[in-house]
Structures are given as C-alpha cells and as structure tokens.
Structure 1
C-alpha cells in the first residue's frame, strides 16, 4: 500500500524561513519549486496505486473479428405444443417406416400377430422419453403395483407386456438386406439417421456462422 508523503521537518523549517522574508513576488517564486516537489512526490504514489496495467488480449493483433451469427435466422418449425416440434423433427413418414419394418421383422421371427400401429408407436416413444428423466433400476418398476414406484403416466398408457413386445421387435431396416450390414452395423439405423438429418437441415435456414448453446 502506498501512503501520501507529508511535510517533513525540513520542509516546515523552509516554509517558516520563507514566510519571514519580505517581498510577495519573491516569496511566491521561492515557494513554487518546493510545493511542486512535494506535490510530485505525493501524486506519483497515487498513480502507481490507482493505475491498472493495460492487458493485451490479442484482439489488436488479429487480422479481423469473427462474424457474429445473425439474430434474424429463420426457424421453419412452428407449433403451440412440444409434440408439434417433435413431429416436425421426427416426421410421420419416418414413424410409418418404423411401424412397417417392426411388423416385418416380427413376421420374419414368426410373430405374425404383432400388428403394431402408428398411435401405439407414438405412445411407445413417449414412454421411452419419460424414462430418460424419471429413471428406475428396472423397466418393470414403472408398472409396479407399489404406490411408491408406479407411474400412472406410463402404466395407464399401455400394458407392460405390450411395451416389452414392441421393444423386442422394434426395427428400422429390413434384415434381408444383408449387404449393407457387412460393412458397418450402423446401417441398421441408416433410415433414421438420414431422415433426421434431412429434418434438422430443413428446420432452420442455416448461415455461414452458427451459434450453439447448451443448457444443463
């Protein structure tokens, strides 16, 4: 910490000697260097304490600042309810494709009476979403008869046996197309990936610079 310098004994003696001399103009001229010296020494401490070093963050050296994303980006997804946005990004054509492939796979496995419908698939996907934020150690706990476990939102939507049946035969691509499976197993999800990529690209008019924010 820096303290302002006060008048020393020598400074006081000098002032007393000057005050006893005659001549107003000469007195002022003699006082000026002394007061200037005192003020300079005291102000130097203030400047060293109050002044902050200028930090160079490298912005002045950059050739040009990055262009900020425009606030007028056009979002092509509209709706009053969350389900409207979900269906815009997860289109009905994709859901119908999943229904068809699931029923086809069930028949291939000898289960000819699965007969999954589009409304049933939507309920199934909704239950899967609920299970992502209400987590139980076992799937059966959502249908438990104990009041502390059972979730009416899930249990009243579909029976447990039907949920597990759909989960067992859920499919996205025809298994008879074995050529696509030889290279990579993600081919089983290729129809879903392609449909989602197309939906996401059409959901917003993209720009050269994008800003992505993540909230936890």
Structure 2
C-alpha cells in the first residue's frame, strides 16, 4: 500500500530549495493544482521546473512564477503567460524551450533509464546551434539528453491504494511519463478506490512508479474559453 497523505502542505514540505520538479499537465488540463498551490504557499525557492508550459498568470505554475520561486524552466510552450515573458526578458529566470515531442521523449527516456538519444527535431534551426549532431542514413540528427527529476508532481483521475493510476482523457498528457522519471512521485488524485476495483486493462500507470497519494478536489479552470 502506498503512503496516503491528508495534507497538501505536508505532501510538498519535503521538497527543498533548489529541487528539480516535473509537473504534469498540458495548459491547465491535468495539472496537480493543489500540490502546486501548496508549494506556492510554502515559498520553496530556486526550483527547476520541467513541464509542458508554465500555467497562466494567476493559476497553476503561474503561481510559482509570480512568487519568483522558479530559477529555471524546461518547457515546450509558455505563450499564455505574460509574467514569464517579462521575467525572461529581464533576465530573472533561465528558460530552455524544447520541441514538444522532444520534451516528451527526453522525459520518457529518463524514466526508461536511457541517458540520451538523437532526434531530427530542431535540425537547421537556432535550437541546433552549438549542439552535437550526427548523420544517420544521410539525415542529420541532434543529440539530446534524457530528463529526470527529484520529484514528479502528477495528477490522476482515479487511484487504488497500491498507487495504480487512471487518467481522464486528455488529462493523461505528460503525467504517465513523468511518473516514471521522478525519484519521488506524488500523485494528486480525484478518486481513491480499493485494490481490485480498477480494471487491470484500464490502468495507465502501475503503482510501482508512485510513492505517495493524496486525494483532492480540483477547480479545473478553463485556460481560454471559446464560445460560438
């Protein structure tokens, strides 16, 4: 049985200043919003964040950004956050922008114990400047290192007490691969069920990758509302 936490503050209290965190989600979908909010309240600083994006100005990872708790971010897309743009231009934060597929593969490789790989994504662009490249079958590839983290904060729809996880539709996104690539994985879940209640064929992340569980109600804010 996995450790079941009851306080979001206690869940992130062990994260020290200077830690590297993987944070699941795509936009505001599938983010561990209560864990992020608790981390913002604690004020843990000099964090390296690995995530698809940096939330919005007033929610998700945007809360940490606003508090200047993030030292460095490795992400794919950050265009929805004006504060991020301001901090980058002011030299207040380090940013490494990575093509989305490459980001996913670097995380997956880290979780699989693969230290590095070659990819064609980014060849011939500024991303390739100063980087090691190699030609395979007449095609050029960029050398990329895998990514791992001290902690992975992820969000799941349903879990059993052994830490087996199910994700809801697009909220699955980066969460399963990040669960494999963190030394300690904390899963924020909407529903907790007993062992045996989950269909084995429907489990997306086996409990072997999960260290701690906490149940919470999410606001599930909409990043950009479009009406017709």
Structure-1-length-normalised TM-score:
0.23
Structure-2-length-normalised TM-score:
0.22
* Greater fraction of residues in helix: 1
* Greater fraction of residues in strand: 2
